[in-house]
A and B are shown apart, each in its own frame.
Chain A
Amino acid sequence: MRKRLSTIMAILVALSMVFIVGPVMAGDSDTQTVNYAVTAINEINIDDNSVTLTVNSATAGSPPDQASDSSTYDITTNVISPATKKITASIDSDMPSGLTLQIDVTAPSTGTGGGAKTLSTSAQDVVTAISAVNEVDISIGYTLDATIAAGEVSDSKTVTLTIADF
């Protein structure tokens, strides 16, 4: 009797099975962690590979006429006030005696230009107090002065502009 009842129950369960694919809860949303950062960025680029300054004239009785040329530079920095940056300039070796090379770097919109500076092997501030900026084609002016004692000279110097902390 017991076996018969067990058999009956088993068959009833098998034949009356209702198929249900139920709802799957708590799976329609998921999260993800994104890590991000922005590092210090300081980029400067002088647009012209070279400039040429030729002293080749004078007014009789006066020193040789000054020669000039110009170039441009581009700058990007993400420093934020109160921190600021500066641009320094130097040449790789001293000018010959009787020759003076000067540079006048225009500041970007967020800095202060230092005016004309005589270039030497020591880095000098040419622009100061620069804060976050990205600008292109900012003017650089060069002048070359020579005394008659300089004689005839043909040479080149490498000018280096550097973004540094101010």
Chain B
Amino acid sequence: MKRLKFLLLAAALALALNGVALGADVSTHVMTFDFQAINEIEVTGSPNLTIASAVAGEQPQEVTDSSSTCAITTNGANKRITASIDTAMPAYVTLEVDVAAPSGSGTSQGYVTLTTSASNVVTGISHVADSSPTITYKLSATVQAGVLSTDTRTVTFTLSD
């Protein structure tokens, strides 16, 4: 009895929701999909750069660190990654970053000098999810920079239009 009541109820609901005449074998309802913008970027790694050598007669030798990665997910089109630092580098010292483009999407800008103004490091990114793009930092200094104790800079990476 209970089962019969349930079946009758289900049928009644189907009719009520769909407005179909009694006896129809096809029923429809509207499913609304709304995929909104997803833009996620996450940077991992603790890069360390120390200039400690030179060939006699030449400027100090630059150093690089490729231990960081940049995970990215976007369902948008033609996105870009920009990078900036919180404080300008000391005089005669240059910090550069090279961010690899995600697999199959985007164009890396190669080594870009980091300043307090955001600069494009990867452009033309569309519909991608990749956790492996490598971030390479390069530090260079002239002799005029002198000896610098360990210091830090905070690099901000932003995924945007």
Contact = CB atoms under 8 A, between A and B. Distances in A.
B150 A32 contact: no
B154 A44 contact: no
B59 A79 contact: no
Given A30-B157, A36-B50, A75-B57, A15 B9 contact: no
A34 interface: yes
Residue among A32, A38, A80 having the largest count of chain B Cβ atoms under 10 Å: A38
Q: Report the contact-size class of chain B (Cβ under 8 Å from the partner).
A: 35 or more
B154 A19 contact: no
A41 interface: yes
B54 A35 contact: no
Residue among A19, A31, A37, A77 having the largest count of chain B Cβ atoms under 10 Å: A37
Contact of B143 (A27, A28, A73, A76): A76
Interface stretch (A49-57, A58-66, A94-102, A127-135): A127-135
Contacts of A158: none
B41 A28 contact: yes
Interface of B is mostly: strand
A147 to B, nearest CB: 37
A24 B40 contact: yes
B147 interface: yes
Contacts of B59: 76, 134
Interface in A61-99: 73-80
A30 B68 CA distance: 13
A2 interface: no
Given A12-B13, A132-B143, A33 B53 contact: no
B9 A4 contact: yes
B95 interface: yes
A21 B34 contact: yes
A75 B155 contact: no
Contacts of B9: 4, 7-8
Nearest to B144: A132
B143 A45 contact: no
A30 B50 contact: no
B57 A76 contact: yes
Given A31-B154, A35-B152, A23 B37 contact: yes
A75 B58 CA distance: 8
B32 A30 contact: no
A151 B156 CA distance: 75
Contacts of B147: 38-40, 78-80
12 contacts: A12-B17, A20-B34, A27-B39, A29-B156, A38-B52, A38-B148, A43-B55, A45-B57, A74-B57, A78-B145, A78-B147, A133-B143
- 9 interchain residue pairs of minimum CB distance: A74-B57, A80-B146, A136-B57, A45-B56, A43-B56, A27-B40, A74-B56, A38-B148, A28-B39
